[in-house]
Amino acid sequence: MSDDVLPAPRELPKRGRPPGRRRFPDRRRFSEHRWFLLVLGAGAVLRVIAMLGYRPALWFPDSYTYVVTALKPRPDLVRPAGYPMFLRLLEPFHDFALVALAQHLLGLGVGVLVYLTARRLGAPAWAATLASVPSLLDAYQIELEHLLVSDTLFTVLVLSAVCLAVRRSVGRRTACGIGLLLAAATLTRTVGLPLVALFAAWLIFKQRGRVAAAGVMIAAAAVPILGYGAWFHATYQRIGIVGANGVFLYAKTMTFADCDVMRPPPDLAVLCDPRPPALRPPAQEYVWAQDSPLVRLPGITFSRGNDALAGRFASLAIRSQPLDYLGSVASELARSFTVGRPVYPDQEIYDHYLFPATPPAPPGRHPATVGAQAAERYQRGPITTRIVEPYAGWIRTYQKGAGLPGAAVLVILLLPPAAACVRRFRPAGTAWVLPWSVAVVLLAMPPAVAEFDYRYVLPAVPAACLAAALAVRKPNFSNIPLNVRI
């Protein structure tokens, strides 16, 4: 062959399917995720049944206040305006059924987030699927999504932040996203505020002492929260994002406060209850009941003066009876882990967490009545819940036997630290620590500053389940499926 003659280049095969062959979906991919897809499909069907059975949505006492704030945006003294802004985004459609649909889609998204995050970090498919089951199939979770309350939105925001923070690498952009998600969660429910410090500590630990990512996260969270605080101050001339912290902490301390032990000054003594703690009503009654010492004071319950007075009383009660306070917190927290589901705090509130057999009665309190009128303007029509059979009966029957017991929540919480102890000489990593800590904070904060409520337990469950799945993952990072797709 002559030196100036080059051999013809070999023709490379064209990419794509071979000629004459049809392209089919990768069956192995579906086979790998088939159990999760079945659970996801079942969760979707259950939510469709709930929407068909209860139209357009279900109402909770807080719902009416949210709608008022959505139609007339301004900070509320009791609840931040994050969820009302969510309602306002959907207001042009004038349909609460669309709000319920959006919340059900967010609920399905929670299950998907738990599964994908667990799989990407090396959890076996069975563990990741089981971790998604409570979010997707728990009847009380589905009912909570159908209620016009903030908890589903809050859950998605917090879990999204968790899923970003447990990634193998967290850069400054990711840290910024985490901060914005935590700010949105805090402005949806104030219990999200302590999570900012928790996530900052986690990022410092994850980055081996480097604070850059934590600093970016804190700054990203602070800007929206401080901006909302400035709006709140301009509206009420008060510092904060709500004006009810003192009131709710006072209600909490009334489960144990003994004025004979506290010896309060005269201005605080007006808030004493002479009844022994065992004979007192649940804590919430000291916020809303007409015979509450705080409610009987001049002015609105959440005025600056009343809130400050209530906060001083609560602070004195905790300082004077620290062991009684801790005992009260522990007693309320223990309600999260009961085998059954006893009625608490009262029958009226308890019934709101069940799919009803008859249409709920219209609101009776004046603020709720005003909110109902605003809701009719939002809907541009009646807002009464219509119960449609047989769908409503199906979901009611399902709820009777398909709720996650509190005792199961306790088992899920105990699993990660127990697995860490068993694997002390063969560690599976520390990724479980953050979601586990988030779940503990979300469970402990309401009993510590207000009171236990069943709906406050549900946002902690996905994080706890994710922690449990990560605790049993494969310790060898070479086995992690980085490209898990659905």
> In the chain, what is the straight-line distance between the N-terminal and C-terminal CA atoms, in Å?
55
Residues 6+ apart with CB under 8 A from 448: 252, 329
Task: Quote the CA–CA distance of 80 and 67 in Å, as a whole number.
Answer: 13
CA-based nearest residue to 282, from 457, 59, 450, 61: 450
CA-based nearest residue to 252, from 134, 169, 163, 331: 331
Cis peptide, bond prior to residue 18, ω within 30 of zero: no
Show pLDDT as tens, one digit a residue, over the chain (486 residues): 444 444 444 444 445 555 545 454 556 667 788 999 999 999 999 999 999 999 999 999 999 999 999 999 999 999 999 999 999 999 999 999 999 999 999 999 999 999 999 999 999 999 999 999 999 999 999 999 999 999 999 999 999 999 999 998 899 999 999 999 999 999 999 999 999 999 999 999 998 888 999 999 999 999 999 999 999 999 999 999 999 999 999 999 999 999 999 999 999 999 999 999 999 999 999 999 999 999 999 999 999 999 999 999 999 999 999 999 999 999 999 999 999 899 999 999 999 999 999 988 878 777 788 889 999 999 999 999 999 999 999 999 999 999 999 999 999 999 999 988 886 545 567 899 999 999 999 999 999 999 999 999 999 999 999 999 999 876 544 334 444 443
What is the reported pTM?
A: 0.91
Domain ranges of the chain: 35-238+337-479, 246-330
Instruction: Dig out the tokens for 276 from the structure.
Output: 């022994």
